[in-house]
Each structure stands twice: as structure tokens, then as C-alpha cells.
Amino acid sequence: MDPLLAFVITLILITIVSLWYRISPFFTLIGGAVLFGLLAGMTPDATMLGIIAGIGKVFSAFGIIILCGAVIAKLLQEQHQIEEIVTDIRRYVKNPPVIAGISGYLLSVPITCCITAYIMLNPILDSLEKDRTKRNVLLYLAAVGGIISYALIYPTPVVIPLYEAFSGGMSPLLFDAISIPLSLLLLGGILLYFRFIHPASFTTERDNPQATPPTQSDEISTPVLHQGIHWRAWAPFIAILIAIPVALLLLKLSQMSMINFIMLVGAVTAIALSPPAARATGLSQGAKHAGLIIFDICGAGALGFVIVKSGFAHVALGQLTVLIPIILVPFILAALIETAQGSRVVTAVITAEVLAGSAVVGAIHPLPLILLVGAGSCVVSYVTDPFFWLVQRTTGDDIKTVVKNYTLPIALAGVGIFIVALGLEYLVFR
């Protein structure tokens, strides 16, 4: 069968199975890999070997990073230190929606999972706002803020596979010098969007005379009573930042080695500063949570590797570039994969595998190329996206409201990233 047709059939069936059965993405992606391999003319043995190789490749790249991020997250959660971090932010930012967006934005990168950051912030944001509508605005902003940084900033599991596949020796500092200001600009635009559709939610604590300060019975009361910065809560992230120049300048590590090294430093710092009871629980729960994330990403690696081994990049991408401008191929490919299975990390892994070594990579500068894939991973965050249903459950809103407050803002961010990528490609790098 034609590889492009096999790819379309596989995406359609992955979408149907994901919606109908709601089973683990690992099994739907592995099933998709088997189906695609056989439809594309690969032997059963070659298909299974491709699946095994793809899983191993992704696990070696992400295993340490995601485990360390999950352990840091659970240790902080066990000691109520996420509340302390939010309290420190509240000291300088008085507007609850801004606090929510910034908290999601900041936590998603070092924790290496925007969904984990959202889950951890959920009970804290509940305590910031008692009104249901205003509280839900905080939850939406935390989710969208986390996705923006997660899809754009190196090193997250979304950006790492794209950087490794396309960077061509480009410094990650150069990439973040563009992506961080862009992500902050997008976050500001999303805050303006919410201010326009939910103006009542943007009153500050001073503007709201009925607002009462947290008391001893509130969930975040203990951190609020503390007057200084909660350095122990910030310590793992500070250690990660300090480890970056050590890894690059003293140890002379490569980019991939550096990412694993600095995450290990952050996890060891979190473990060392935790009391024994929190340490045991945090390590156990962190390992379990990391396992769920890693296996889903490994399923993506299996599907991506089988697609590459089938010769898809040479045949199907050649057909696509005849039909559409080559600059649109990464964006559309990522959007299709994201629509089919809903995970931005999975989208990045599969897209990186498919495009690596193709004519697309040579035709587009690495920086806008990475941004184009990131943009495509954001434009359709709907029913196949597990984060969509998590937000729907935690807010209790109907589907139409979740689309307005979750799907649409993320799509607007994706369009913004796409426009910037086009501008960089045609105005800066040509």
C-alpha cells in the first residue's frame, strides 16, 4: 500500500480507538505501529524489530529526564512545597489569573510534564478563589500556561526530540533566546484573551474588598505565614540552573548528556533535602508516575521508527511537497499526528523521526522548523487530548466551555507560533 495512504488509515484508526476505548496510548500507538508496518509492506519480523528499536531509542533519550522530573514533582508535593512556590509568586504578583498562568508556565519545564504541573497546582488554585467561575479561569490559565512553555522551551520532552533531530549544531541558548520571549509574549496574549472574555476574574486582592487572607484552616496557610522566600522549595530548580554552566564549561558534556546530568542534579537535591517519610513516598509515587509517561512516549517512538523504516519520508513526504509548500509540511504533519492521538510529546517524537533526513530539514532553518512542529502540536487540542478531559473533569464545565477556554486559546498560541516561524524563515534566515 502507498505509505501516505497507510499513514492516513493508521491515524484514523488510532483516533477511533482512542475515543471509543480510552485505553493507554501505549497500546494504541503500538497497535498503530503494527498496522502501519503491515499496510506499508514490511514483514512482521521487520515491524516488530522496528517497534523494539523505537522503544529503546526513546527510553534511552527520556528515561532519566522524566523520572527525575516526576521525582522532583512528587517530593515537592509531599512536603507542600508547591504551595510555598505559589505563595512566593503571590508576594510579587497580586492578580490570581496572572499567578495561575505564571505558575503553570514555570512548573511545566523543570517537572517535565505540563499535566503533572496542572494536577499539583489544582488544589492550590482552588484555595485562591472560592467563586466557581473565577476558580475555573485559574485552572484554564494554569493549563494553557503550562502547555505554552512545554511546547516551546528547551529542554522539555516536546522540544528535546525536535532539537536533537533538526538543530544541526545550533546552540540551545540561541533557541531559548527566541523561544522564551516568544512564549512569554504568547502567555501575555492569552491573559489578555481571558481578560476580555472573563473581565470579572481579573480583580486583584486589593480590588476585591470581600477577599479574605488565608487562615490557619486554608490549605496554603503555613506557607503564607512564612515571611521569607521558601528556598528549600526552589532548591531543586536552582540546582538545575547552577548545573548548566558546570556541565558545559567544566565537564564539557554534550547537549544530551547535559540534560540528563542537570536533571539528576535537581533530583538528587530534592531527595537530599526531603525528610525520610516524604522521601520514601515521593520516590515511589514519582517512579510510578514516570513509568506511565515514559511508556506512552515509547509507544510514539515505536510508531515513528516503523514509519521511518517503511520509507515513508522518501515517498509520502515527496508527494506532500508537490501538493503543498514545503514550509507547511512540518506544521500540517504535526497537526495531523496531534489530532490523532492528542499528546504533544508523542507528536514531537513521531514528527522528528519522520522528518529527520528528509528534504524538509535541508529546506528550512532549524529554529523555525522546530517552531513549526511546536505550532502544529498546539492547533488541535480536542477530544483525543487527555489533558482536555482532565481539565473538563476538574472544572466541571461542559464541552463547549472547555473548547472556548482551553482548545481555542491553545490554538491561538499555535497560530502565533506559526506566524513567528514563517517570519523568522523568510525575513531572518533567508
pLDDT number for residue 346: 84
State the cell numbers at 95: 492578580
pLDDT number for residue 319: 75
How many Cβ atoms are within 10 Å of 357's Cβ, its own excluded? 13
- Report how far apart, in Å, the C-alpha atoms of 200 and of each of 58, 95, 195, 196 are: 45, 12, 8, 9
Ranges in the chain, pLDDT < 50:
206, 209-225
- Contact call for residues 406 and 381 (beta carbons, < 8 A): yes
pLDDT number for residue 215: 43
pLDDT number for residue 155: 85
H-type alpha helices, 274-358: 276-309, 312-323, 329-341, 344-355
State the cell numbers at 9: 488509515
- CB within 8 A of 264, min separation 6: which ones? 64, 68
DSSP state of 427: I
DSSP state of 131: S
How many Cβ atoms are within 10 Å of 323's Cβ, its own excluded? 9
pTM: 0.80
- CB within 8 A of 64, min separation 6: which ones? 260, 263, 264
Tell me how far the alpha carbon of residue 108 is from its chain's centroid. Answer: 7
- Contact call for residues 70 and 116 (beta carbons, < 8 A): yes
